Amino acid sequence: MSEMRTYEVFCKKAGKDEFRHVGAMQAHDPELALMYARESYSRRGEGAEMWLVDRGDLIVASPQALAQNADKPHRHNDGSAVAARRKAQRESGGTT
């Protein structure tokens, strides 16, 4: 048989749930991948639908590209600045 390929497995329960990544597995080709994915990830009715994606077909973002987005604190508003101001006003007896 040919070289094994790695497939990412996604399952979706019936209803409105979204597809979720459930794991990865190896197989020689798409047909065998479907057979083995069924046994590895849906033996107990974990999903009503399943997607397999060959890992080689994934478009992968570089960690460096994502790291730049983590360095923009001025874009984040988690409410801590407002909370600190209100706390300071309460403690000084002021009104908000």
Partner 1 sequence: MNEPSMDPPLAAVVLALADDEHMVGARHTAWIGLGPFLEEDLAFCSIAQDELGHAIALYEMLPAAQASGIDAFGLLREPSAYRSSWLAEWECTDWADSLVRQWLYDRAETLRWEWLREMSSPPLADLAARALSEESFHLAHAEHLLCRVMPSTEEAKRRLVASTSRFLGMSDNFWVDLDLGLRQQWEQLVAGDLARWGVEGTALLNTPQVAPADRSVRSPGFDAFHAELTEVVALDPSAIW
Residues that bind partner 1 (CB under 8 A): 1, 4, 25-28, 31-32, 35-36, 38-40, 43
DSSP state, residue 43: T
How crowded is residue 57: how many other Cβ atoms within 10 Å of its Cβ? 9
Pick 21 or 85: Cβ nearer partner 1: 21
Q: Of the candidates 44, 53, 47, which has an alpha carbon nearest to the alpha carbon of residue 7?
A: 53
Pick 4 or 82: Cβ nearer partner 1: 4
Distances, alpha carbon 49 to alpha carbons 22, 28, 57, 81, 83, in Å = 12, 22, 20, 45, 45
Whole-number minimum distance, CB 23 to partner 1, in Å? 11
Q: Of the candidates 8, 22, 11, which has an alpha carbon nearest to the alpha carbon of residue 58?
A: 8
Whole-number minimum distance, CB 59 to partner 1, in Å? 25
Pick 1 or 65: Cβ nearer partner 1: 1
Whole-number minimum distance, CB 60 to partner 1, in Å? 23
